Each structure stands twice: as C-alpha cells, then as structure tokens.
Structure 1
C-alpha cells in the first residue's frame, strides 16, 4: 500500500535527445548513412528519467534532488519534469549534460554528448535535507557527474528516513554504507570488482556480487543481466537468480533506471529485498517491451488505459513484424489446463504468419463462460505457460466475454480458431473484415478438451 511519504531520487539529471530519421543511402565522401526526415524527441535522462518512471508507477509523491545549471538545456529539462515530479534543485555550474542519439528506425547511428564531465555544486538546500529525512525510500541514480561524491549530499543520505537503492556509475562514488541494495549491471560489476572467475556466467557474476558487498559494506547487490534477468547476493549463501520475461524488440535504453525505480518503490511499500528485485525484473521487462526510454511519456498514470492487460512486448512484436511486411496472426480461448489439442492448434496458427499473439479470457470472463468452478488455472499462470511455448510470441488477457475489443486494438491480419467451426462463419469474422483481416479455422486434434479432462477427473 502506498502512502504520503515520498520516494526521493537523488542524482544527475540529464537531457536526452533522439534525432530519429530514415536512411537509404551513404554519403559520397565517407561510408556513413545520410539521415533524412529527422524528428527531434526530447525526454528526461539520468536521475530525471528514473524519477519520471517511478512517478508513472505509483501514487506516492516522487521528489527529484538534482544539480541544475541556469542554461537552455536546464530550462528544457524543467519543462519536461513539470507536473510529473517535484524538483528540488542543487545550484550547479558546468552546463546541463545533453546526450543526443541519431537513430534510424530502432538503431542508433551515433551519440553526441555535451556538457562538462562533472558539475560544480553549490550548497545543498535545507529542503533537500528535509525530504530525505521524510523519505519512504531513496533512489540514488549516479551518472558520474560528481553529485554522489559531494560530502554534503552523502551526509544527507546518511540521515535518510527510508531504505536506499543505489544505481552506480563507473565514474561515480562508492555507495554510502547504509545502502540496502546496489544495482550495477554486469559490465559495471566486472569493472569495479574483478575476480578470478572469468566470463559472465552465474558463478563469475555471483563472485563479483559478493566482492562488491565486501568492498562497499552494503546490504545486498543485485547485478542486472539484461535479457537474462538479475542475480541477487547478500554476500553469503546461494544467490537468488530472477529470470527476465522474454521481450522481442524494444529499446533497452533506460531499463536500468526502470529496474532501480521499481526496486525502490517496492522497498518503500515494505517489500523485502528479494521481492523488490523480482518485481524490478518484471518492471524492467515491461518497460523495454513498451518501447523503453523512447516511450517514457506513454506510461503516465493519467493516460487512459485500454481495457486489456497485455504482457510485455505485444506492441513491439506487432510493430516489428509489420515494419518488415510480415503477417500478424492471433488466436484466442480460455486455455485452461493446456493440453495437446491446444498445442497443435497454436503450432498450426504460428505457421500461418510471422508472429502469434494469443488472446486469453480473464478469470472473471472464464467464470461467466464456463461456470463458477472455472478456471482451474489463473490467467497469470495460463499466460506464463503459453509464453513458454516457442511458437507463441505474446499473450494478451482480455476481460470481455468475446475478444472483439482486443482484436480491434491489435488488428491482426489472421484470426485462427481450432474446433468444429468449418463451414460456419466465426463470431469474430465480422470484426476482422472491418480492417481487411481474415478469420480461418484450423483442424482440431480430436479427443482433447479441458472440459472432458475435468469430467474424467471427477469419475
């Protein structure tokens, strides 16, 4: 349960700029692409991105304490933060750090950084000390510009009222000893704590996490491993490994900020460290699936949400396939107690195109259709089993009695159903026709049904 005490984010606020265009030729004087039709997209970066990500996930107040210069970049950053987080500024000089990525589609061509490598900080405002003492949790987002090395900042962090999550930087300061959880990525952990074990296997990562705990004197270290999830160590005993939900496509930029923000919010709400890391892995996967940092503004709490719960990656899966001119296939059903008939139908459906989205009825929807004793398996667990099948690319849970609404949102090219519909018009066919989609029937593997399995188990 959230409360009125704030989540406080401390660190270096950056301005991120994406220059997104198209490229179809190289320059005559060098083997580099000519980027045309460029669109400029600005967003908060660094600690500022972590703060807006956190604010989008909670009703708890979010306060950002960050050095701010008096220049055009700072003014643009203040405008992006306005109405999202409360900003407590530390006076600073050295220019606002601006990171510009030139991108063609989903690929970065070059990044251009400006602003001094380090900022010169003024006095820490009393307001900053006050909000830190009142914090439900603190997230330190270190981007190597000197904020976390400031003695006055470190003194204020030592008096913080809640647990501290520290997202480190190779050029940053060591976490304060009272830190509950430090969240380096694999490369950062390897640079700070080289150990005898080579490579990036779990044994080597675990050894580095233990070495970091000894080196920093902190409570726990969670090494984030990208698509592999995260490893959590308390310095002794077997580490906990949290696998990530597979995500197709998406921009991983900002995933570390999303992970750290989610962990800090969960600790603020009373979660233990292991629960916080597990929730943070899921949140980071969902963040990447929604488009990553490039889609930061699409996840605001006040934005209208569709009446559909989509697992991470469904939109990026569809966008990727359509961008390549492929065919999007969808199928649906309750999928309660998945059996060989389901597997055969799903495999056949995937063969009709370039991706398969499975739309499943929510628990309430199944109860209305099948009776009060169903479903036997919750929607979350049904979705997890389906996602584990190699021929399923994404899963969507819908609340209605029919998938008409979710189909209208996803607009697949093909809607495939297994069963005895041959020769009859599928109920969803009319919806598909509105955008030129095709409903088809697949052969059904006879002798397999969940209802029959349930009846046999009762005899």
Structure 2
C-alpha cells in the first residue's frame, strides 16, 4: 500500500522478524500563516497530532500493512510514551487486510525516544528530539532470541541504540542467517552487520561514513557512481556479508554482490522519477520489501528491483505521511490507499485536489476530454468509479460491459489521472468524505446545484464545477453500436 498499496504479491503465511530500535514519531500538523511578534519565526496553529512507530517500528508497520505477519524484536522503556507506541502498532495490525504484529521486547533501560516534526502548510519547520541520546545497553531476553527461530526472514533496523550490538543477539542472527535471508539496514552510529547478512542497505551518506578509513579520500569517490562502487566494494570486503546495496535517492541504488558476475560489474537499479519531497522512511520501505521478496524465494536482483520501486512509490505518495488514515472508517476498494495518499501528499505541498466520478463503462473520447479538463483545474485528479454492483443497480442487469478492475486499469493508464478508487454505493458521497477534494467535477450535462455531492463538498469549503459536455458520445450509445456490429 505502497506508500499505502502492497508492494508485489501478498506473502500470505510468511512471518518476518524485525530486529532493532523502536522510536515514537510524532507529527504536529497545522497552518503557518503569520510570524511571531517576539521573534522572526513562524507560528504554527496545530490542527492535529499524528503518532506512529518509528525506527524498527516503522519497518514492522510497513510489512504489516503489506499483509505480512511480523515479530518485532526490540527493547522498550517503561515510561508513559511506550503506551502510545504500542497503541500505534495495534492500530496498524487492526487495519483490514493487515498482518499481525507480535512484540517481543526486553527492557531498554531508558525512556522511549520521541522525534516530533512540526509541519506548517505541508512544510517541515523544526524537528524536536527527546530522549534520543544513546542509552545504556538494553537487556536481551531468551524470548527475543527464540523469536528468530520461527520466521522466514529478518530485517535488522539498527538505529544505534544498542539492540543490534548485543553479542548474544548477533550470534543468533549469524546462526539464522545460514538458512533464511537477513536484511541489515545500518546506522552510522550502529554496529557492523553480521557476516551472514544477505544484503546490507546503507544510503549514500551512511555508506561513506561507514567506509571512513577504508578508501582513499579522493574527490572522485564523492562525485560519481564509480566512487560509490568503490565504497560499496570496500564495505563488502570489510563486513564479509553477501551483498551491499547503496541507496541513491532519486537515482535508485547500486548493488555490489559476492556473486562472480556482479563482483566484476556493479549493478545499478534505476528508480522511477518522483515528485515526492519527503524521503523519510524510504530506506525502511526498501528494506522491508527486499526482505519480503527474499522470504518468498525471489533472487537478490529481483528483490532489490522490487525494493527500489517500492521506495520510489512510497516517496511519490507522500512518504510516512501517506500512512495516516482516518480512524473508524471502512476500507475503500480499488487503489484506494493510493487515492488517499495522493490527496494527502497534494495537500501537504499546498496543491489543489480535484476529483470526478462515474461508471466509465466504455471509455470514450468524451470521457477523455472531461478527465483532461478536470485535471487542469488542480494539482491531482482522483477518479471515483462505481463498482460492478453499483452500475447494475443504476443501469440494469446487463451492465457493466467491462468489470471494475478493467475500468480502473484503463483510467489509471491515462496521463491525466493520478489515482482511481472504486465505491459500492449509488453515489460517491461516502468516498468523497474520505478524500475531501477541493474541487468536484462533472460533465456539463449535469447541473451542479442538483447534484447530491454538491452539499457534501461544500461542507469543507470545496466547490462543484462542470466542464463542457461532448454530445453524441456516451457509453450507452457506444454499447448499442457494438451490439449492432455483433
């Protein structure tokens, strides 16, 4: 669900352990439309606060949202904030279609680390860290070690707080790495990966910091892919692991492996260009996907390609912000998670969310012109599509001609469409309350004042507009012509 759609096929029945340090991430979201009178700093009027599990908890969140059962092996404090952390994990596991999250934890010996980001009008203003200094050594329990024997893969999310440094846990990871894939996401202040790691996934800055003293400080090392490859090869040799994957943001990732062919020629995996501006969590998304693919038996190259693609989609959908979902709401269908993520990401950038809807039973030129005109009214276009049952109620038992999945695929293939969501009701009022578009668009054969959606849209200050109608073009007319041909 990349950032909210599952990446690749669901891996039903598989369990993945996430080992590492858990944080509590808090976003304070609001408006910033004035400066403080006593200092030249913005005043943020906080409208809502969103808490989620961070660090290893974010990896567990992403995997569970993919439908994977997760065992989170970590250390937790005994302060009040740990309750928020557990509640955030429980809320993820309770989502429709999500996998379970079992927490196996020893005492951290320190308060829960909290990272709070203050965002105004979609822009980050400041991050406040509480209790994030390296603590004393956490306590590793026998239950934590035993949990590694009952999984199909392991992701180590090392945030430098001591869980991945424990000798007994490292021995256990080295042991299980002989039979299942271990994906290690390192931290510059963390511990080196175990030799049994199938792949280690530093980002570029982490890779260069971790390779300090292993390579010459030549300018080329910092400026080109050959330099990244030099660093990856040095880390591969130093760590003794099976592969090193250096992530390069929008450029994708570079893979160095012990495989004989790859060892001579590094493998560059390109990423799909993205307009996303918040890369927070992209590395966690990549590591989670790579582990899931490896657990399913995919070869390393294919798993890495899937991970890079998943990370790019995650950033494009708004990053960690795309994980926020309204509480107590039923799930939508189709690519509903994408629709919610697209709307959220557009608002975070200060853009205008446009939506339109219909049956789209046989896509024709009139539809295409209406959709293009709608997209021109804002910064994203979300299309709400009647389900098959809804079309039958509206148009009779012989409709639709094309199933909802095919209609959705055709719409999504249009350049002007950013997301598609299927709804079951006769009108899209419920889905509109979820997406909350700024503009609702219908063809000129409708009168805005007569539409039931107009009042719904107006409730949050949105507006309903009509765009030119193209006479002589309709699904019903086209279906009749096809019947005569047949």
The equivalent position to 2:243 in structure 1, one of 213, 217, 220, is 220
Contact 2:104 2:147 in 1 (8 A): no
Contact 2:359 2:391 in 1 (8 A): no
RMSD: 4.6
**Mapped pair 1:167 → 2:193:** no
1:11–1:345 Cα change, 3 Å: same
1:365–1:150 Cα change, 3 Å: same
Q: Distance in 2 between matches of 1:365 and 1:277?
A: 40
**Mapped pair 1:13 → 2:22:** yes
1:345-424 matched pairs, under 5 angstroms:
346-358=371-383, 371=401, 382=410, 385-386=413-414, 389=415, 392=416, 394-398=418-422, 404=428, 410=435, 412=437, 413-417=439-443, 424=445
**Mapped pair 1:267 → 2:294:** yes
Q: Which residue of 1 aligns with 2:156?
A: 140
Q: Distance in 1 between matches of 2:150 and 2:319?
A: 31
How far the C-alpha of 1:129 sits from its partner, in A, is 1.7
SS in 1 for 2:73: strand
Q: Which residue of 1 aligns with 2:51?
A: 42
How far the C-alpha of 1:400 sits from its partner, in A, is 6.5
Q: Which runs of 5+ in 2 are unaligned?
A: 1-9, 94-100, 393-397
Q: Distance in 2 between matches of 1:398 and 1:263?
A: 30
Query: TM-score, normalized by length of structure 1?
Result: 0.75
Contact 2:22 2:55 in 1 (8 A): yes
How many residues end up aligned between the 2 structures? 441
1:7-86 matched pairs, under 5 angstroms:
7-37=16-46, 39-60=48-69, 62-81=70-89, 84=93, 85-86=101-102
- Over residues 206-253 of structure 1, what are the superposed CA-to-partner deviations in whole Å (9 max), with x where a residue is unaligned? 55444433343333333334445444443433524242473556x543
Q: Distance in 2 between matches of 1:366 and 1:97?
A: 51
Contact 1:247 1:312 in 2 (8 A): no
The equivalent position to 1:113 in structure 2, one of 123, 129, 133, is 129
Contact 2:254 2:266 in 1 (8 A): no
Q: Distance in 1 between matches of 2:27 and 2:89?
A: 17
| Greater Cα shift, 46-55 or 194-203 | 194-203
Q: Which residue of 1 aligns with 2:282?
A: 255
- Over residues 237-273 of structure 1, what are the superposed CA-to-partner deviations in whole Å (9 max), with x where a residue is unaligned? 3524242473556x54323222222322232233332
Q: Distance in 2 between matches of 1:9 and 1:317?
A: 30
SS in 2 for 1:53: helix
Query: TM-score, normalized by length of structure 2?
Result: 0.72
How far the C-alpha of 1:38 sits from its partner, in A, is 6.8
SS in 2 for 1:120: coil
| Greater Cα shift, 205-214 or 403-412 | 403-412
The equivalent position to 1:243 in structure 2, one of 267, 271, 274, is 271
Contact 2:28 2:48 in 1 (8 A): yes
Q: Distance in 2 between matches of 1:397 and 1:428?
A: 24
| Greater Cα shift, 185-194 or 398-407 | 398-407
